[in-house]
Amino acid sequence: MRYLVTGDAGFIGFHVARRLLGEGHEVLGLDGLTDYYDVDLKQRRLSLLGEEKSFRHRTIMLEDNAALIAEFGAFRPDFVIHLAAQAGVRYSIENPRAYIDANIIGTFNILEACRAYPVRHLLLASTSSAYGANSKYPFEETDPAIHPITLYAATKASTELMAHCYAHLFGTPTTAFRFFTVYGPWGRPDMAYFLFTRKILGGQPIEIFNHGESWRDFTFIDDLVTSILKLGEAPPPRADARAGLASIPGDTLSPVAPYRLVNIGAGQPAKLTTLVEELEKALGIEAVKILKPLPAGDVVKTFANADLLEAVTGQKPTTPLSIGIPAFVRWYRAHYN
């Protein structure tokens, strides 16, 4: 099959493309290689992907609609996995326009490209941040997501709504999925576990927000990739083609479109201090800790209900921090010598 993966130089896109190539698929990756974080790390990811003959990469910004349409027309993908985005909760306070450009305009252009060149399934990345000020746990896909507390969350929730419109109007089978704190080898340097590792090894203190009382539903990257690809095998059926199909309790299938929204998380939130303890064990160094208040835009807790994911795919993330963090530390030590 032909897969178009946006954000292939990014953390998640790299791992998704690598798995697809390992399974024998043809992959076209699109990425703008922005300098939000270390471009050299992105280039190293691409160099590994480039070792596969069935991989091609194009450096374009998704805001460039003409270039995007040209790539779609030349490649004619069967599946699109749209992972490219301007990420980061706190950065959205500093540079909000980057989120409008990348997340809103970029996703609109992807939807238009799928309209011009229909695909079997569009998979669209969203975020647990969409739940915003929701304080009901665990987060269920049917919970209202109408109180975002950062522009990042607002843009990602908006892309879900945009994708539903296109699924309804033009029949594009679409699955949107919400990530929950993804971590692992080749990760993003702005993420807490990455920052903590660098500072602990450098003998610097680490800042622990909310005085260590924050909780996150950590998802190991290998589990996430498995979930994405298994969701890809289960495109939502059209509303007029569901007769005789068994219903799934709590399903988010749209009543008017081939569209579904799914959490991808383990449903096992861990305290931030637990993350630090696992890093200390894997590194063999005790961290110097500075406790700080919760910053603007952060939530106290994320907690995924993974029942729908398990019902649709037959699995859910299971890798604990005690396995995932040592795997990251081994990669970090090797990569940064």
Would you please indicate which residues are annotated as catalytic (active-site) residues? 152
| Non-local CB neighbours of 38 within 8 Å, separated by 6+ positions | 189
Rounded Cα gap, residues 133 and 144, in angstroms:
10
Contact 77, 122 (CB under 8 A): no
- Return the exposure string of 187-221: e unless at least 16 CB atoms fall within 10 Å of the residue's CB, then b: bbeebbbbebbeebeeeeebebbbeeebbbbbbbb
Rounded Cα gap, residues 65 and 301, in angstroms:
37
Q: Which residues pair with 263 in a beta bridge?
A: 178
* Residue 172, both tokens: 């594009």
* Residue 130, both tokens: 């969409």
| Non-local CB neighbours of 247 within 8 Å, separated by 6+ positions | none
DSSP 106-130: HHHHHHHHHHHS--SEEEEEEEGGG
User: H-helix or E-strand containing 79?
Assistant: strand 79-82
Contact 21, 96 (CB under 8 A): no
